[in-house]
């Protein structure tokens, strides 16, 4: 089984619908991240969490919210999806301290908003 | 301006040549830099990191950091078709809570 698991892997939805992407990890890391990837734009940080009680906005948090339910679980929600949120979403984890730059990624969740 | 910038490419090199991938950053608070490789349809994976000025070598890969010029590069020697992927440069922003900010990525194609 993968160390970082994302569900669903693919989702097609309609404008205005609420969507939740879930991430769970077995690496025992405190730090978790949500990134979105668009062609030509690389990975952009949406939200990150350094422990269960810590939630921080990233580069592009507007239109998104997150919940850190436990050390191992970090969910991303789109309250009212819009077409420009169509993208590939990655969850990642890292250790703390100096090695926190080494991210371990899930396999990605491809979201299409019609 | 993005905090970490890369040429998006594509960069095409013949098999056996040296591929040079470049990255610049704007935040002088960035203390370490990471190169990730992403094959098409896959998630990124770390290949190297560097935090000191100068060169760091690991097999066919050499990372170079010049903090005065705010410039990071990745050299791939003896490029192979299996090196064809998108390479993502990321800066570790210690002054901003230690988050990792990625550049746009450079697509590399190694032709046999």
Residues in Cβ contact with A19 at an 8 Å cutoff, skipping those fewer than 6 apart: A11, A13, A77, A78, A81, A111
A109 neighbors A20 (Cβ within 8 angstroms): no
Give chain B positions within 8 Å (CB) of A58. 99
- Whether A64 has a pLDDT exceeding 90, the answer reads yes
- Whether B36 has a pLDDT exceeding 70, the answer reads yes
pLDDT in tens, B50-104: 988 899 999 999 999 998 899 999 999 999 999 999 999 998 876 666 778 899 9
Residues in Cβ contact with A81 at an 8 Å cutoff, skipping those fewer than 6 apart: A13, A14, A15, A16, A17, A18, A19, A111, A113
Q: Is B97 on the interface with A (CB under 8 A)?
A: yes
pLDDT in tens, A22-35: 999 999 999 999 99
Buried residues in B69-108 as b, exposed as e (16+ CB within 10 A): ebebbbbbeebeeebbbbbbbbbbbbeeebbbbbbbbbbb
Can you tell me the distance from the alpha carbon of A65 to that of B92, in angstroms, rounded to the nearest whole number?
Answer: 23
Total Cβ atoms within 10 A of residue A8: 13
Relative to beta strand A54-57, strand A42-51 is antiparallel
Predicted local distance difference test score (pLDDT) of residue B7: 81
Q: What is the pLDDT confidence band of residue B21, given thresholds at 50, 70 and 90?
A: very high
- Whether A49 has a pLDDT exceeding 70, the answer reads yes
- Whether B41 has a pLDDT exceeding 80, the answer reads yes
Choose among A42, A101, A107: nearest Cβ to B104. A42
Predicted local distance difference test score (pLDDT) of residue B96: 65
Contact A102 B46 (CB under 8 A): yes
What is the SS3 assignment for B82?
helix
Contact A102 B34 (CB under 8 A): yes
List beta partners, residue B45. B37
Relative to beta strand B61-66, strand B54-58 is antiparallel
**In Å, how far is A14's CA from the nearest CA of chain B?**
24
B111 neighbors B102 (Cβ within 8 angstroms): no
Predicted local distance difference test score (pLDDT) of residue A99: 64
How far from the centroid of its chain's Cα atoms is residue B100's Cα?
A: 13
Give chain A positions within 8 Å (CB) of B32. 98, 101
Relative to beta strand B19-25, strand B71-76 is antiparallel
Can you tell me the distance from the alpha carbon of A82 to that of A85, in angstroms, rounded to the nearest whole number?
Answer: 6
Can you tell me the distance from the alpha carbon of A37 to that of A73, in angstroms, rounded to the nearest whole number?
Answer: 21
Minimum Cα–Cα distance from A89: chain B residue: B43
Contact B99 A42 (CB under 8 A): no
Q: Average the pLDDT over A36-42 and give the result.
A: 89
The per-residue pLDDT of chain B, averaged, comes to 90
Q: Average the pLDDT over A36-53 and give the result.
A: 92
Q: Is B45 on the interface with A (CB under 8 A)?
A: yes
Q: Is B46 on the interface with A (CB under 8 A)?
A: yes
- Whether B13 has a pLDDT exceeding 80, the answer reads yes
Predicted local distance difference test score (pLDDT) of residue B48: 93
Torsion B7-B13-B19-B20 (CA) sign: negative
């Amino acid at each position: 089984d993968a160390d970082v698991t994302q569900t669903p892997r693919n989702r097609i939805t309609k404008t205005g619908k609420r969507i939740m992407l879930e991430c769970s990890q077995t690496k025992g890391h405190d730090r978790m991240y949500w990134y979105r990837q668009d062609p030509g734009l690389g990975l952009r940080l949406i939200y990150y969490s350094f422990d269960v009680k810590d939630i921080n906005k990233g580069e592009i948090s507007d239109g998104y919210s997150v919940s850190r339910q436990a050390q191992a679980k970090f969910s991303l929600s789109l309250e009212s999806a819009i077409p420009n949120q169509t993208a590939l979403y990655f969850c990642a984890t890292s250790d703390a301290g100096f090695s926190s730059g080494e991210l371990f990624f899930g396999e990605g969740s491809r979201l299409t908003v019609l | 301006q993005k905090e970490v910038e890369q040429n998006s490419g594509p960069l095409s090199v013949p098999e056996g040549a040296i591929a040079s991938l470049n990255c610049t950053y704007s935040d002088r608070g960035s203390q370490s830099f990471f190169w990730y490789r992403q094959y098409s349809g896959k998630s990124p994976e770390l290949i190297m990191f560097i935090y000191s000025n100068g060169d760091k070598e690991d097999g066919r890969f050499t990372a170079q950091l010049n903090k005065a010029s705010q410039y990071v590069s990745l050299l791939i020697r003896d490029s192979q078709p299996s090196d064809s992927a998108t390479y993502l440069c990321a800066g570790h922003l210690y002054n901003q809570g230690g988050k990792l900010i990625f550049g746009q990525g450079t697509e590399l194609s190694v032709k046999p």
